[in-house]
C-alpha cells in the first residue's frame, strides 16, 4: 500500500476520533464505566470486521473512521475511573505504568502487522487484530 493511502487511513481514524469526541462527555456522564468500556471495545472490534469480509480501500477508510469513534469515550471513562480509584500521591506512578503498558503493544504492533500481512494479507492481519480487540469485550471474572 502506498504511503499516501496509509496516511489517509490515519486521517480517517482522526476524523472518527473528532466525531467521537463530540459525544464522549455525554456518554461518560450517562453510561456506567464498565458498560462504556465493553461497548466501546466491541464497537472498535466490530467496526473493522468488514475489512476482512469485503476487501477494498473505501471499506478500509470507513472502518477506520468507525472504529475510532469510541476512542475518546473509552479513554475518558477508563482514565477517569483509574484516577478516581488511585490515591493522589500515587497517580504519577500509575500514569507512568499505564503509559508503559499501553506503549509496549503500540511499539510492537507494526512488526506484528508486517509479519501477518506478509503471511496472509489484509484479511489475516485485520482478523487477528479484530480477535485481539474482541478479547477486551470478554467479561471479567
Here the cell at position 79 is 482514565
Q: How would DSSP label each residue in 6-34? A: HHHHHHHHHHHHHHHHHHHHHHHHHS-HH
What is the CA 62 to chain-centroid distance, rounded?
Answer: 15
Q: What are phi and psi of 46, to 5 degrees?
A: -70, -30
Residue 36 and residue 77 in contact, taking contact as beta carbons nearer than 8 Å = yes
How many Å apart are CA 95 and CA 129, to the nearest integer? 26
Q: Distance (Å, rounded) from C-alpha 56 to C-alpha 37?
A: 29
DSSP secondary structure string, 89-135? GGHHHHHHHHHHHHHHHHHHHHHHHHHHHHHHHHHHHHHHHHHHHHH
What per-residue confidence (pLDDT) applies to 3? Answer: 82
Confidence at residue 140, expressed as pLDDT on a 0 to 100 scale? 63
Q: What is the pLDDT of residue 17?
A: 97
How confident is the prediction along the chain (141 residues), in pLDDT tens digits per residue? 678 888 999 999 999 999 999 999 999 999 999 899 989 989 998 998 898 888 789 999 999 999 999 999 999 998 898 889 999 999 999 989 988 988 898 899 889 989 999 999 888 888 888 888 888 777 666
DSSP state of 139: P
Amino acid at each position: 500500500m502506498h504511503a499516501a493511502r496509509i496516511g489517509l487511513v490515519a486521517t480517517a481514524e482522526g476524523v472518527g476520533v473528532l466525531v467521537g469526541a463530540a459525544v464522549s462527555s455525554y456518554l461518560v456522564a450517562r453510561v456506567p464505566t464498565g458498560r462504556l468500556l465493553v461497548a466501546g471495545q466491541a464497537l472498535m472490534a466490530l467496526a473493522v470486521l468488514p475489512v476482512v469480509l469485503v476487501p477494498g480501500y473505501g471499506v478500509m477508510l470507513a472502518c477506520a473512521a468507525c472504529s475510532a469513534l469510541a476512542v475518546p469515550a473509552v479513554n475518558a471513562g477508563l482514565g477517569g475511573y483509574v484516577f478516581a480509584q488511585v490515591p493522589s500521591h500515587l497517580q504519577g506512578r500509575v500514569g507512568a505504568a499505564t503509559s508503559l503498558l499501553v506503549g509496549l503493544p503500540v511499539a510492537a504492533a507494526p512488526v506484528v502487522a508486517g509479519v501477518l500481512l506478509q503471511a496472509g494479507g489484509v484479511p489475516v492481519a485485520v482478523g487477528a487484530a479484530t480477535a485481539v480487540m474482541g478479547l477486551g469485550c470478554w467479561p471479567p471474572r
